[in-house]
Amino acid sequence: MANAFITNDITTYEALDILENTYSVAQFINTEYDDQFTFGGATLGQTLNIRKPARYLGRLGQAAQIESILETSVPLTLSYQRGVDTQVSSQNLKLDIDNYRKRVLEPQVVRLSNLMDQDVCNLAQGLNNSVGTPGTTPTTLTTYLNAKVKLDNQAAPADKGRYCAVNPAADAALMDNLKGLFNNTSQISEQYREGSMKQNQRTIGFDFEMDQNIFVQTVGTLGGTPTVTTTPANGANTIVTGSWSSTTLNAGDIISFISTTTPVNVVNPQNYSNMGVPMQVVVTANITDSGGAITIPYAPALFSSGQLQNVTNMPASGTAIFVYDTPAANFANISGKSSPQNLAVHKDFGTLACVDLPLPGGTDIAARAASRLRGISIRSIRDYISLTDQWIQRLDVLYGTAVLRQELGCRVCG
């Protein structure tokens, strides 16, 4: 009996199944399927506003102290319409579904999944917490434990939601480092067989995953002995600095403010305690010094008081500026270095929000499938070209990515 013609509904649901199971880093991030576009469909460039939890100071004693409900939100723009398009023959569409899935559909969707994974890895550029040395692959667990401390200091949930995504070089260094440590026998056996942490293995409170799409940050060209020129106002996200020399800071570079008299230390967002370590911020735009002066845009905004307090003091005039925890005297060691930005994060540090694309008319068949569990919506469209007896098959996903809570993530420089 002849095989039935593979319908677009079958193609779409098969594609969704493959996509669900070929995520890498994307499977460990907060994913949201927004069904507000179920009927009309969304378009590239639309923006969603995602609310962050409100914070409160609390009180001591019986007298009520009314606090305002101060909610903040993060705009998430549907920036990516990713797709893979092919032409298939009528003969291919007469294959049984297992052959069609393996020969035609799976390579398409694996590439689509890889593109989505890159977009998630690129969120590293928006994180302000950083450990390690740019251009130097971490060779001990100490570096990852330092990242754990960063998350603990900023009240990241100490649950099963923490994971590390590392590039191949860091993955290999981890294998060598872990070989002599006491560990779960089956886990050590799996590492030995696979030579990788790619089996979602857990150690020091993180699930580890190897990922070839880890974002690479190039450190700016650094020079001079930079200091703060003007103390910023509470809640500011720019700062006036000086005494740079032939310097360009790149978006994604990390700076901190070091002072023994007015330290700009991290404040725990739950108990408002001084954690005794310098606060780091991330540069949000490429910028070059002019006569040694740079007004640096950064995130997160710094608050030394109020419900959103995150530092002990605002950076005072004359405070020294470190880049990637490196003082000016050692800028030459990191200037211009390319550095993989491995991720040590809680899954709620960011999000990938996927929405429904509209189903157009005037095509042979258009179908759509969504998974609320994985937060994915995928559309498949097929059209026929009679002159060549070919079917154009396109697969599309529309989504946006954003860092939601910077305090829940840390970059591990490699």
Q: Which helix (H) or strand (E) holds 118?
A: helix 106-121
> What does the pLDDT read at residue 2?
39
Q: How far apart are CA 43 and CA 46, in angstroms?
A: 6
Q: Which helix (H) or strand (E) holds 395?
A: strand 390-403
Of the two residues 131 and 102, the one the predictor is more confident about is: 131
Q: Which of 240, 222, 242, 256 is nearest to 328 (CA)?
A: 222
Instruction: For residue 201, give every residue at least 6 positions away whose Cβ sits within 8 Å of its Cβ, in sequence order, or none.
Output: 187, 190, 191, 207, 208
Pairing of strands 248-249, 287-288: antiparallel
Q: Which of 113-117, 236-240, 388-392 has the lowest mean pLDDT?
A: 388-392
Are 121 and 29 a contacting pair, CB within 8 Å? no
Q: Which of 74-78, 225-229, 402-406 has the lowest mean pLDDT?
A: 74-78
Instruction: For residue 413, give every residue at least 6 positions away whose Cβ sits within 8 Å of its Cβ, in sequence order, or none.
Output: 130, 131, 132, 133, 134, 135, 136, 138, 217, 324, 339, 340, 341, 342
When pLDDT is cut at 50, 70 and 90, the band that residue 4 belongs to is very low
The yes-or-no verdict on residue 16 having pLDDT over 90 is: no
* 178 half-sphere exposure, CB direction, 13 A CA radius: 26
Instruction: For residue 121, give every residue at least 6 positions away whose Cβ sits within 8 Å of its Cβ, in sequence order, or none.
Output: 25, 165, 211, 213, 214, 215, 343
> What does the pLDDT read at residue 256?
98
Q: Which helix (H) or strand (E) holds 139?
A: none
* 100 half-sphere exposure, CB direction, 13 A CA radius: 22
Of the two residues 7 and 106, the one the predictor is more confident about is: 106
When pLDDT is cut at 50, 70 and 90, the band that residue 96 belongs to is low
When pLDDT is cut at 50, 70 and 90, the band that residue 317 belongs to is very high
Averaged pLDDT for residues 151-170:
92
For the chain, domain boundaries: 8-55+72-123+349-400, 130-215+339-347, 220-336
Averaged pLDDT for residues 257-285:
96
The conformation of residue 188, written as its DSSP 8-state character, comes to H
What's the Rg (C-alpha) of the chain? 25
The tokens for 237 are 């996200």
pTM of the model: 0.84
* 352 half-sphere exposure, CB direction, 13 A CA radius: 30
Over residues 25-67, the pLDDT tens digits come to 777 788 776 666 665 667 777 887 777 766 666 777 778 877 7
Mean of the per-residue pLDDT values for the chain? Answer: 86
When pLDDT is cut at 50, 70 and 90, the band that residue 3 belongs to is very low
Q: How far apart are CA 202 and CA 208, in angstroms?
A: 6
When pLDDT is cut at 50, 70 and 90, the band that residue 5 belongs to is very low
Task: Please report, to the nearest 10 degrees, the dihedral formed by the alpha carbons of residues 155, 160, 164, 168 taken in order.
Answer: 170
When pLDDT is cut at 50, 70 and 90, the band that residue 185 belongs to is low
Other C-beta atoms closer than 10 Å to the C-beta of 386 total: 6
Pairing of strands 238-244, 224-230: antiparallel
The yes-or-no verdict on residue 1 having pLDDT over 50 is: no
Q: By CB neighbour count within 10 A (0-12 exposed, 13-18 middle, 19+ buried), where does 136 fall?
A: middle
The yes-or-no verdict on residue 196 having pLDDT over 60 is: no
The yes-or-no verdict on residue 295 having pLDDT over 80 is: yes
